[in-house]
Amino acid sequence: MAFKAARQNYQPTDRLLRLLETFRGMVNDCIAIGLTNDAWTLKRLSSLAYRQLNCYDCLSYYKLCAISRAAGILASRRKSFKRGVTPRSPYSLRPQLVSCYGFKIKNDRLSVPVGKHTYEEIRLNPHTLNVLTDQQVKVRSFLLTPNSLSITIAKEVATRPVVGTTGVDRNLPNLTYGNLERVVQYDLSKTTSITQTTRSIVSSFHRNDTRIRRHIAGKYGKRRRNRTLQLLHHTTKRIVRDAAQYSEAIVLERIDGIRKLCRKGNGQGRKYRGRMNGWSFGEAQRQIQYKAAWEGTPVVKVNPRGTSNRCAKCGEILQLAQLSDTKHRRCLWCNKCQRWIDRDVNAAINLSLRDG
């Protein structure tokens, strides 16, 4: 099964807002019960929390969904402890509603149950309706926030037969993919400039009230996220489309620990840490994975060690350009082939040749 979501904005009613607040309260109660009793599995948390949620006046399956949501948060917290990271105590801040029960989609409206035989209708926009017109698509659940609606859909997808592989090399200024036959490089320097501009704007505001600073930072951070996501969506869509057209599997780098390398106190400058921590390398991978799964294109992750500094043609170790040579700043020199090689192009080709 392949999954993806269709998202749109909507105007909530008072009853929906009250239901969202009720759901948030149930999730937080379940989290508190799980922390008190050291419970993170769905089965144990259900046995501990279900009866204690009787004080909430809502449909019973919303209580089950709240327990499931809290169990996922607690399980994620436990994984953080296993990785050696000490997270803060989890708490659901934003009103929300997640459910896979009781809702109906008829014509151009989503009917959300808010009580016994009582529904609130949300008008679906043309984009969402276009996604739902596919006969193979099945609606699985929905997520409501005070201003957005996300509908999760799924369909059965057969894996395409592949005749080759194409490597994807993720970098801060670009996204390069290809193999020995062809290589395409997409310029993502605009995402870096968006991040730098947002950081400079936020740092220019000096307020004594922490809440105001947080509100301003959140406003510009949301704007930066939306603009960056749009650029990444256009790029990853083309990569998956070309891989499906040429019947190729997509090979990704298995990147771990970049955020730890760019923490304060590791020797890097403030501007360098800001650029690296603003790099959406994980988001690009997430988009490629779910879009490739929707098209039936296989995705493989490999160890990227040595993909940039080893020649894809002869296997020779490549040499760095001199600091004064700005023309070949992102190029490496191969003594055996006697040529300059773009390090990103070379990495994408080497990734396509890796077995796993």
What pLDDT digit, counting tens, does each position of 211-241 carry? 777 888 888 889 999 999 999 999 999 999 9
pLDDT band at 8 (very low <50, low <70, confident <90, very high): very high
CA triple 78-52-79, angle to 5 deg: 5
Q: What is the pLDDT at residue 324? A: 63
- Look at residue 326 in the predicted model and tell me its pLDDT: 66
The enclosing H or E element of 99 equals: strand 97-99
Instruction: State residue 199's pLDDT score.
Output: 85
Give the mean pLDDT of 191-220: 83
Per-residue pLDDT at 261 exceeds 80: no
Q: How confident is the model at residue 262 (pLDDT cuts 50, 70, 90)?
A: confident
Count of residues in the chain: 356
* For range 283-310, the mean pLDDT: 91
Residue 274's pLDDT is: 77
Choice between 320 and 210, residue whose per-residue pLDDT is larger: 320
pLDDT reading at 129 higher than 90: yes
Where is pLDDT greater, at 140 or 278?
A: 140
Does 99 have pLDDT greater than 70? yes
Residue that wins the pLDDT comparison between 214 and 166? 166
Given a cut of 80, is residue 268 above it in pLDDT? no
Sheet containing strand 319-320, strands side by side = 319-320, 331-334, 339-342
Residue 263, pLDDT above cutoff 80: no
Query: What whole-number distance in Å separates Cα of residue 351 and Cα of residue 177?
Result: 9
Res 206: pLDDT: 76
Q: Which residue has the higher pLDDT, 87 or 251?
A: 251
Q: Measured in whole angstroms, how far is the alpha carbon of residue 66 from the centre of its chain? A: 22
| Cα–Cα separations (whole angstroms), residue 4 to 109, 153, 235, 248 | 20, 6, 17, 22
The span from the CA of 257 to the CA of 278, in Å, is 15
Res. 71: pLDDT tops 80: yes
Q: What are 20-52's pLDDT values in tens digits?
A: 999 999 999 999 999 999 998 999 999 999 999
Average pLDDT over residues 291-302: 93
Q: Would you list the DSSP string of 213-234?
A: HHHHHHHHHHHHHHHHHHHHHH
Q: Residue 82 and residue 86: Cα distance in Å, rounded?
A: 9
pLDDT tens readout for residues 52-70? 999 999 999 999 999 999 9
Segment 121-147 shows an average pLDDT of: 92
What's the rounded Cα separation, in Å, for the pair 49 and 64?
10
Six-digit token string for 134: 């596919």
Q: Which band of pLDDT confidence, cut at 50, 70 and 90, is reported for residue 203?
A: confident
| Measured CA distances, 125 to 51, 120, 294 (Å) | 39, 16, 22
Average pLDDT, the chain: 89
Domain ranges, ordered by start, for the chain: 2-155, 164-353
Can you give the pLDDT at residue 24?
95
Contact in structure between 311 and 338 (CB atoms under 8 Å): no
Order of all β-strands in the sheet with 138-144: 2-9, 148-155, 138-144, 97-99
**Is the CATH code 3.40.50 the one for domain 164-353?**
no
pLDDT at 356: 58
User: How many angstroms separate the CA atoms of 118 and 124, rounded?
Assistant: 19
Ranking 79-93, 100-114, 314-328, 342-356 by mean pLDDT, the lowest is 314-328
Mean pLDDT over residues 299-317, rounded? 89
